[in-house]
Chains A and B, each alone.
Chain A
Amino acid sequence: MIKAPIGIGKPAFWSVQNISYQAYRLKTRPELIIGVLALCFLSFVVLVPLLQIIQDAFTFQSYDLSYEPDGVVGSFTLFHIDRVFNQPISTALFYKPLLNSLKMGFAVTAIALVVGFSLAWLMVRTNVHFKGVFGAMLVFPYMMPSWVMAIAWLSLFKNDRIGGSEGLLTYLTGIQAPDWVAYGIFPIVITLALHYYAYAYLLISGALATVDSELEEAGATSGMGKWKRIRVITMPLLMPAIGSAIVLTFIRILGTFGTPALLGLPVRFFTFSTQIYASINARNQGDAFVLALVLIVLAISFIWINSRIIGVRKSYVTMTGKGFRKSESDLGKMRWPITILVILFLCMTVALPLILLLWESLTLIPGNYSISNLTTYFWNGKGNINLAYGEPGIIHNKGILEALFNSIKLGFAAALFNGVLGLLVGYAVVRGRGARLSKWLEAIAFAPYIFPSIALGAIYIGMFSTNIGPVPALYGTFTILVLITVIKNLPFTSRTGIAAILQIHQSLEEAARVQGIGWFRRMFRIIIPLSMSGLVAGMLLTFITAMRELSLIILLISPGNMVLTGLIFSYQEMDMSQHSSAVTLMLVLLIIVISVIVRLITRSAGVGRLNVT
């Protein structure tokens, strides 16, 4: 048989036939259309803003005129760079915050890792008591804003330095806590570490639970001792999880705003995040943009160095948050002492802050923690000109209720859009596997991961403070809060989406296709029901993060789009500690209640039926 050589008879690229073919083809491949749309959208909200602030950082702005009256607005300039790196003011503007951020980042990461690792080991690999309760309690910090601990710390240790009331310590003992205990790097590191260990704990316990038995038992049968087994088999297998935990924690710390602001600003201790905030408030946006860029470069280099040292290329997998237990070792005599240690730890990190918040919210005169001073005024008071600037208690406070409504709206909107976007990105990436479009899409959906929260906020100020073509100026609107929350969470939800779609064998959808079922119906009847459990988990995560987020949106909120976290921060800034405590407590309870309800609903909806074959 003689075969025609391949390649003959292919129409030219620009021919009518080829164009009509490509158009038809696009119609038969929904994942291409979705992929292209998603790519355009994500480029617009991720890459364009980045380029925009790079450009802004090198452009002479009108607000620079006060420093250089003869500058030409809109011209290329190294003015901002020079100011940040190379002027007498640079020490305060850049070098000190850099040093502080790095110190804080490394210290918190190290402590959080050690704590998280130890707890993970105890929970997964030993027979410590009360694992069920502990397991539920240990992820609590994840559901609280990272700065709850800072507010609690202030309730305890606030001294007379900044005026206003004093903390519980002073009330009980009359001793003023020294400045280094009350403010600055020491409390910042402690309170952040006691929050961020939860990430390391979740990642490492997940890895530990899947690693062990299979491989370690193989090691045991080949005659390795226990420690050798841990060193040679377990640790290398845990390295990706440890690497992820390090990267995740470090980048979050770089971008975190609440705690350094609450505990640092009173003593003029600046980190990158608080300096960016200060620069924006001082109308020196150019400085803020340069700082944000440096922060991003810092995050990227950290990822790079980390992956070099750990030797795992993908040391930034996302969290799964599942903990199983296997092959537990006996703690022997230490079983109870260690259990008690964990209980104390949980009391300190979960119970104590919440109790302090509650107590604080119930004190009439701040700083007086006696029983006789207790009141429910800040919960249900109608407003009294002599108390807290006449601000009414929570249930009569329009501002708080509006912020509450906004927070819930933000949580639900972000979760919903994240779910949809994650599903679509997952669909386009998985179904388009092998094509360049799929790779680009996956990469760009992951890009927000490397933007520390505060830097992303700064980028969005630069981008959306004026209108861009048909897109109106979004600064100060509710939309921009939803947008930035969705984008910041996209790396996680798109991973969830990809994982969910990967689990649905392609043939399940193809079977529907050949039976004549169109794309929308396929999505609603097959893809969405089958990926529901994964998606809901991802959306719940977004909801929680959206509700408790401050660093990301602090630069973007204004009275018009105020949410609870922003409100708490401003109460705290005005030293209205009862209000801030009460609202914080309400926020935490709300998050917990809603996540429990969502969990219950999804469980009773029979998602368990779907053991996909």
Chain B
Amino acid sequence: MGQILLNGIVKSYGKEVVVKNLDLTVETGEFLTILGPSGCGKTTTLRMIAGLEEPDQGMIKLDDKVVFSRNDGVVVPPEARHLGLIFQSYALWPHMTVAKNITLALKEQKISKSEIAQRLENALDMVQLTGYAERYPSELSGGQQQRVAVARLIALRPSILLMDEPLSNLDAKLRTEMRASLKRLHRDLGATTVYVTHDQIEALTLSDRIIIMNEGQIMQEGSPYDIYHHPANIFVAEFIGDPGINLFKGTISNGMLDCGAISISLPTTIANRGGNLIAGIRPEKIKVSETAKNGWQEVTTGILQPTGANTILEVKAEDIPITLLQTGFITLSEDTPLWIDFETDALSFFDTETQENLRNEVS
């Protein structure tokens, strides 16, 4: 129960095509995150799954049942799709108490009174809001409102959960807390979950699998590990990671990538291509030394940003800016010389034209 399948989904508003031929499968019990910049079509995709928007083309199946197919003339309305959706704004009904908010849909389903009371209690318990049943939404804090929205969802026990940036209205601390509780919730319910966000930390911490979207297209799908370590293209590489990945554009000569002030040694398969390419390396994959080492590149420090456990260092190799990430609280004065070295197997290489990761091409 709980499989979702999207096939060839196209959606446009007027002339603007906002979702372009989307294929997507979510397995039972999986936690899938759709991650992408603002306006890339995440919400639209989620709403199409819920039935709140109609695709122009394509097919959607839930649990092997076709709920939308343009070609076969099938549209199942949202009321009949039996899934749970959490809105960014929570969409609590302001004129009903917390209890009414949670039980309205249950009453609709002709569930027995004792069962409803049971489920209400359970749901409130799960989100730690026992005792708040008679409050109105306007009498709750943002975090509590969010939890009511979650409780409303739990009580219905859908096999599919859809969440649209459920944490974006909360402050940073609350967000971390709620993240953990959402993860627990998913584990306890075992429901298939599609989670939409533009916050990469949420995506990386919560998901079994991530889909990176841009301009209505899937840029990459994979595990958080894969997405982070093997970005499929420059868009993904730059979008994921904070501080952002270092990219160096250069020309291949003698098995090395010549980027001006720095040169990077290449695996033979890549060196054989010749021409230009772009190399990428994450800031934490660059080793740093305060003393000169053989074969290491000399750089001078610029601005340092200690964040507590880590420090972000902006350095320069002549005129090429490089970002480093080191553990510990580092204080160095500006223009201090440092020596750096790239972890060779952490390097990614991208075609300058297609911007695709060459690794995919080679293997």
Report A's interface with B, CB cutoff 8 A: 1, 3-4, 6, 9-11, 16-21, 23-25, 27-28, 505, 507-508, 510-518, 521, 525-526, 529-530, 609-613
- Does B70 lie within 8 Å of A11, measured CB to CB? yes
Give Cα distance in the complex from A66 to B75, angstroms.
64
Give Cα distance in the complex from A612 to B90, angstroms.
13
Give Cα distance in the complex from A611 to B57, angstroms.
40
Known contacts A507-B89, A510-B87; A516 and B73 CB within 8 A of each other: no
- Does B73 lie within 8 Å of A510, measured CB to CB? no
Contact pick for B85, options A11, A511, A530, CB 8 Å: A511
Ordered by A's residue number, 24 sampled pairs between the chains whose C-beta atoms are within 8 Å are A6-B57, A17-B71, A17-B73, A21-B75, A24-B73, A25-B54, A25-B75, A27-B77, A28-B77, A510-B78, A510-B85, A510-B87, A511-B85, A512-B105, A514-B81, A515-B105, A516-B108, A526-B93, A530-B93, A530-B94, A610-B95, A611-B94, A612-B94, A613-B94
- Does A511 lie within 8 Å of B91, measured CB to CB? yes
- Does A515 lie within 8 Å of B104, measured CB to CB? yes
Give Cα distance in the complex from A21 to B137, angstroms.
39
For B74, the closest partner residue in chain A by CB is A24
Is B174 an interface position by the 8 A CB rule? no
Which interface residue of B17, B20, B87 has the most chain A CB atoms within 10 A?
B87
Inter-chain contacts of B156 with A (CB < 8 A) = 515-516
A227 to chain B, nearest CB (A): 44
B39 to chain A, nearest CB (A): 18
- Does B20 lie within 8 Å of A6, measured CB to CB? yes
Is B8 an interface position by the 8 A CB rule? yes
For A20, the closest partner residue in chain B by CB is B73
Is B229 an interface position by the 8 A CB rule? no
- Does B80 lie within 8 Å of A516, measured CB to CB? yes
Give Cα distance in the complex from A610 to B94, angstroms.
7
A163 to chain B, nearest CB (A): 62
Known contacts A6-B10, A517-B79, A611-B138; A21 and B87 CB within 8 A of each other: no
Inter-chain contacts of B93 with A (CB < 8 A) = 508, 511-512, 525-526, 530
Known contacts A28-B51, A613-B137; A513 and B78 CB within 8 A of each other: yes
A5 to chain B, nearest CB (A): 9
Give Cα distance in the complex from A514 to B93, angstroms.
14
For A612, the closest partner residue in chain B by CB is B94
Give Cα distance in the complex from A4 to B71, angstroms.
16
0/1 string, B65-103, CB within 8 A of A gives 1: 000001111111111111111010101111100000000
Inter-chain contacts of B10 with A (CB < 8 A) = 6
- Does A514 lie within 8 Å of B54, measured CB to CB? no
Inter-chain contacts of B92 with A (CB < 8 A) = 511
Contact pick for B87, options A1, A20, A507, A526, CB 8 Å: A507
Which 7 residue pairs are nearest across A and B when measured between Cβ atoms?
A20-B73, A515-B105, A21-B73, A28-B77, A511-B91, A507-B91, A24-B75
Contact pick for B95, options A18, A20, A518, A530, CB 8 Å: A530
Inter-chain contacts of A18 with B (CB < 8 A) = 73
Is B342 an interface position by the 8 A CB rule? no
Give Cα distance in the complex from A4 to B58, angstroms.
12
Give Cα distance in the complex from A526 to B94, angstroms.
9
Give Cα distance in the complex from A312 to B141, angstroms.
43
Give Cα distance in the complex from A154 to B81, angstroms.
70
Contact pick for B104, options A4, A11, A510, A517, CB 8 Å: A517
B169 to chain A, nearest CB (A): 11
How many A-B residue contacts, CB cutoff 8 Å? 122
Told that A9-B71, A11-B70, A513-B52 touch, could you supply 11 new A-B pairs with CB distance under 8 A? Answer: A10-B56, A11-B73, A21-B74, A23-B73, A28-B75, A516-B156, A517-B79, A526-B93, A530-B93, A530-B95, A613-B137
- Does B87 lie within 8 Å of A4, measured CB to CB? no
Give Cα distance in the complex from A10 to B69, angstroms.
11
Contact pick for B105, options A9, A21, A516, CB 8 Å: A516
Is B204 an interface position by the 8 A CB rule? no
Give Cα distance in the complex from A521 to B109, angstroms.
12
| Chain A interface SS verdict (over half) | helix
Is B315 an interface position by the 8 A CB rule? no
- Does A6 lie within 8 Å of B73, measured CB to CB? no
Inter-chain contacts of B21 with A (CB < 8 A) = 3-4, 6
Is B338 an interface position by the 8 A CB rule? no
Give Cα distance in the complex from A4 to B23, angstroms.
12
- Does A518 lie within 8 Å of B79, measured CB to CB? yes
For B13, the closest partner residue in chain A by CB is A434
For B84, the closest partner residue in chain A by CB is A514
Report B's interface with A, CB cutoff 8 A: 8, 10, 12, 17, 20-21, 50-52, 54, 56-57, 70-85, 87, 89, 91-95, 104-105, 108-109, 136-138, 152, 156, 217
A21 to chain B, nearest CB (A): 4
For A25, the closest partner residue in chain B by CB is B75
- Does A529 lie within 8 Å of B95, measured CB to CB? yes
Inter-chain contacts of B81 with A (CB < 8 A) = 514
B220 to chain A, nearest CB (A): 10
Known contacts A511-B91, A514-B81; A10 and B70 CB within 8 A of each other: yes
A22 to chain B, nearest CB (A): 8
- Does A28 lie within 8 Å of B71, measured CB to CB? no
B134 to chain A, nearest CB (A): 13
Give Cα distance in the complex from A10 to B94, angstroms.
42
Which interface residue of B10, B76, B137 has the most chain A CB atoms within 10 A?
B10
Give Cα distance in the complex from A3 to B22, angstroms.
9
Which interface residue of B21, B56, B77 has the most chain A CB atoms within 10 A?
B77
For B54, the closest partner residue in chain A by CB is A25
A512 to chain B, nearest CB (A): 7
Contact pick for A3, options B20, B75, B84, CB 8 Å: B20
Inter-chain contacts of A526 with B (CB < 8 A) = 93
For A22, the closest partner residue in chain B by CB is B73
Give Cα distance in the complex from A512 to B85, angstroms.
10
Inter-chain contacts of B152 with A (CB < 8 A) = 511, 515
- Does A514 lie within 8 Å of B74, measured CB to CB? no
Give Cα distance in the complex from A530 to B93, angstroms.
9
B52 to chain A, nearest CB (A): 5
Inter-chain contacts of B56 with A (CB < 8 A) = 10
Inter-chain contacts of B104 with A (CB < 8 A) = 512, 515, 517, 525
- Does B91 lie within 8 Å of A505, measured CB to CB? yes
For A27, the closest partner residue in chain B by CB is B77
Give Cα distance in the complex from A515 to B93, angstroms.
13
Known contacts A511-B85, A514-B52; A4 and B8 CB within 8 A of each other: yes
B51 to chain A, nearest CB (A): 7
For A607, the closest partner residue in chain B by CB is B95
Inter-chain contacts of B17 with A (CB < 8 A) = 6
Give Cα distance in the complex from A132 to B136, angstroms.
33
Known contacts A6-B20, A516-B79; A17 and B72 CB within 8 A of each other: yes
Inter-chain contacts of B77 with A (CB < 8 A) = 27-28, 513
Inter-chain contacts of A27 with B (CB < 8 A) = 75, 77
Inter-chain contacts of A1 with B (CB < 8 A) = 217
A343 to chain B, nearest CB (A): 42
B329 to chain A, nearest CB (A): 42
Which interface residue of A19, A20, A507 has the most chain B CB atoms within 10 A?
A507
For B89, the closest partner residue in chain A by CB is A507
Give Cα distance in the complex from A479 to B308, angstroms.
78
A463 to chain B, nearest CB (A): 38
Inter-chain contacts of A513 with B (CB < 8 A) = 51-52, 77-79
B217 to chain A, nearest CB (A): 8
Inter-chain contacts of A529 with B (CB < 8 A) = 95
Give Cα distance in the complex from A3 to B10, angstroms.
11
Give Cα distance in the complex from A25 to B76, angstroms.
8
Inter-chain contacts of B217 with A (CB < 8 A) = 1, 3
For A507, the closest partner residue in chain B by CB is B91
- Does A19 lie within 8 Å of B73, measured CB to CB? yes
Inter-chain contacts of A515 with B (CB < 8 A) = 84, 104-105, 108, 152, 156
Contact pick for A514, options B51, B136, B138, CB 8 Å: B51
- Does A505 lie within 8 Å of B89, measured CB to CB? yes
Inter-chain contacts of B54 with A (CB < 8 A) = 25, 28
For A5, the closest partner residue in chain B by CB is B21
B120 to chain A, nearest CB (A): 14
